Amino acid sequence: MKHIIILVYFNITLYQCKMDYERGKLQLSRNVYNQDAYDRTYPAPERPELSIARTIKKKCTCTTADVLRTILTYFPLINFARTYKLKEYILGDFLAGLTVSFMHLPMAMGFGILASLRPINGLYSTFFSVLVYMIFGTSPHISIGTNAVMAVLTTTVVDREADTFTAARQAANESIPTDDEIIEVKIGTSMACCFVAGLILIGMGLLKLGVITTYLSVSFVGGFTTAAAIHIASSQVPRVFGIKVQMFAGAGKLVRMYIDLFSKIAQTNATEIIIALLCMITLLLVKICINERFKDKMKMPVPIDLIVVTLGTIISHFANFKEVFDVKVAGEIPTGFTSPGLPRLQNVGSFASDAFVMAVLSLAMSISMAKLCANKHGIPIDDNQELFAYGASNFVSGFFHSFPSATAPPRTMILSTLGARTTLNAIPTSVFILLVNLVIGQLFVSLPLSVLAAMIIISMRDLLLQYRNLPSIWKINKYDFVIWVVTNSVSVLVDLNYGIIAGVGISIFLVIFRD
């Protein structure tokens, strides 16, 4: 190779400069070398002999202090506590944490039902994920807990596993499983999803893969989350009408659900529709006309979700809605915490891909909100540590009858608006949820499910309004528009899992096509 290629070497230490001031030109003269002449003039430095033992020894010369320092980097809470400015931070952290806890309660109960589990499972998911993120997280504004998209994905998995369990019992000519047996299978499966998704995120954090968050497609996430909002809102429509519809799984399940709903429309409970409509109107009026309009003048928004849930429970209890009007209510809510258990990993192969999708979406939604708040407030976050924190929150929750968690934009924006300064704002939130689990939860036994359905539907408003972005996306980038529409359409008309595959596939195709 060196006898064929002639290298022209630009040696800036040997060149001769001549400036022709009349012509304004700079003339450079450089030496010309071939490979042999260059090697003689500039011999390569001697390299030490490669030794694996020497390399390992060099890498392992760290001291105990270095090891301890590395371990402590995974516990940002210690640094927050050590540098905490009590007079400056305490009011913002306490007020933000207490306010967001008022949103956690109705969301946890509603999303627990949305996940095809029980309200108490939503409360467990909230408590443990909030507590663990406080220890490992770096963003003071991220509100980890129940999330509508995670709840919908959980529903898909647990219903499928419950159907498989029921079919296996019938094939073995055994008795049809009871509701308690089915809910145990669902809870065990949701715990397994939590466990696996947590392991995936922890592994990504330990491997320092936070850089991949830079490449998440905004169009893909936008199209998918909007489709998920349609699935979430649609799942609550039967509760608004007071109709029990058949649970469908697989391609076209949303279309089949609406066909089944309209075939049973004569079974509509007028009382439940009235309750849901009154709640939705109240929520919209307060959120739009008060909280959004006067957000700059208010120290904290009106906790209208908590107010509606509380008033709905009180009215339902004293008017005896369940007996008089046949209104479906939340029912018995266990007091305290269930003993930790092992996730149901027997059939992990059948939902491992679902758990991976949950991990990726939890990462995408959470890190995007974390970066948004970090840019807004100038508070740095560590991408890799955030991955570890999301994973730890799900991993630990996986032993406590929970389902996968992620941040929720409404709660995160509350923490951002109210000026949370550290992750210690989770202390008042955790205390409030603890009291709910130990004492207050029993007070919501008479809560109509149509109230929770109305609250969940209204909470999807911002995601559904993302359809308004389509004209601007079309003007800015036609390829992003195609990714958004394809992901959204397949997710809505077929299923969310197929939407993810279609979105990733069209993204890769367009990258190749553009190149």
Question: What's the residue count for the chain?
Answer: 515
Residue 180 CB neighbour total at 10 angstroms: 7
pLDDT (average), residues 453-477: 88
Tell me the domain boundaries of the chain.
1-47, 91-514
CB neighbours (10 Å) of residue 314? 13
Residue 251, judged by CB atoms within 10 A of its CB (0-12, 13-18, 19+), counts as middle
Q: Which comes out higher in pLDDT, residue 82 or 11?
A: 82
- Does residue 436 register a pLDDT over 60? yes
Average pLDDT across the chain, whole number: 83
pLDDT of residue 473: 92
SS3 202: helix
Name the β-bridge partners of 407: 144
Residue pair 424/76 in contact by the 8 Å Cβ criterion: no
Predicted confidence (pLDDT) per residue in 117-166, tens digit:
998 999 999 999 999 999 999 999 889 999 888 888 898 899 889 988 88
What pLDDT score was predicted for residue 127? Answer: 95
Q: CA–CA distance from 274 to each of 241, 327, 328 (Å)? A: 9, 11, 14
pLDDT confidence of residue 87:
86
Which pLDDT does position 6 carry in this prediction? Answer: 40
Please report which confidence band the pLDDT of residue 427 belongs to, taking 50, 70 and 90 as the band edges. Answer: very high
Q: What's the chain's Rg over C-alpha atoms?
A: 29
What mean pLDDT do residues 441-446 have?
82
Look at 467 and 251; give whichever has higher pLDDT: 467
Question: Cβ(459)–Cβ(410) under 8 Å?
Answer: yes
Structure tokens at 458: 């209204």
pLDDT of residue 202 exceeding 80, the answer is: yes
Q: Residue 333 is which amino acid?
A: I
Spell out the alpha helix ranges (H) of 348-448: 348-377, 383-397, 409-417, 426-438
Half-sphere exposure of 145 (CA within 13 A, CB side): 33
In this structure, what are the phi and psi dihedrals at residue 203, rounded to the nearest 5 degrees?
-60, -40
How confident is residue 496, by pLDDT bands cut at 50, 70 and 90? confident
Q: How far apart, in Å, are the Cα atoms of 404 and each of 15, 50, 148, 441?
A: 66, 47, 10, 21
Provide the pLDDT for residue 10.
Answer: 38
Q: Select from 179, 437, 489 the least CA-distant residue to 333.
A: 437
Q: pLDDT value at position 79?
A: 86
Beta carbons within 8 Å of 80's beta carbon, 6+ residues apart = 422, 423, 424
The DSSP call for residue 174 is P
pTM reported for the whole predicted model:
0.74
Residue 2 clears pLDDT 50, i.e. is over it: no
Owner of token pair 């443990």: 128
Q: Is the pLDDT of residue 368 over 70?
A: yes
Mean pLDDT check: name the lowest of 8-22, 89-103, 297-311.
Answer: 8-22
Q: Which pLDDT value is given to residue 245?
A: 87
Tell me what pLDDT residue 7 has: 38
The pLDDT confidence band at residue 203, using thresholds 50, 70 and 90, is: very high
**pLDDT score, position 62:** 65
According to DSSP, the β-strands at 406-407 and 144-145 are antiparallel
Specify the pLDDT at position 401: 93
Instruction: Kindly indicate the confidence band of residue 100, based on its pLDDT and cuts at 50, 70 and 90.
Output: confident
What's the rounded Cα separation, in Å, for the pair 131 and 118?
21
Element (H, E) at 465: none
For range 6-25, the mean pLDDT: 43
Per-residue pLDDT at 504 = 79
Query: Which range, 7-11, 45-49, 70-74, is most confident?
Result: 70-74
Query: What pLDDT digit, counting tens, does each position of 411-422 carry?
Result: 887 788 777 889
- Find all residues with CB under 8 Å of 132, minimum gap 6, and list them: 144, 389, 392, 393, 396, 397
pLDDT at 405 over 90: yes
CB 105 within 8 A of CB 436: yes
Secondary structure string (H, E, C) spanning 7-59: CCCCCCCCCEEEEECCCCEEEEECCCCCHHHHHHHCCCCCCCCCCHHHHHHHH
User: 8 pLDDT exceeds 50?
Assistant: no
End-to-end CA distance of the chain: 32
In degrees, rounded to 5, the angle at the alpha carbon of residue 330 between the alpha carbons of residues 324 and 331 is: 80
Residue 28 confidence (pLDDT): 56
pLDDT of residue 274: 96
Contact 402, 150 (CB under 8 A): no
Per-residue pLDDT, 270 = 93
| 46 token code pair | 């001697």
Q: What's the whole-number mean pLDDT along residues 440-458?
A: 85
Q: What is the pLDDT of residues 275-334, one digit of tens each?
A: 999 999 999 999 899 988 888 888 777 888 889 988 999 999 999 999 999 998 887 777
pLDDT for residue 198: 95
Query: Given a cut of 70, is residue 105 above it in pLDDT?
Result: yes
State the burial class of residue 337 (Cβ atoms within 10 Å of its Cβ: 0-12, 13-18, 19+): middle
- What's the Cα-to-Cα distance from 114 to each of 236, 306, 314, 511, rounded to whole Å? 8, 18, 23, 36
Q: Checking phi first, is residue 63 left (phi over 0); if not, alpha (psi -120 to 50) or beta?
A: beta
What proportion of the chain, given as a percentage, has pLDDT over 70?
Answer: 88
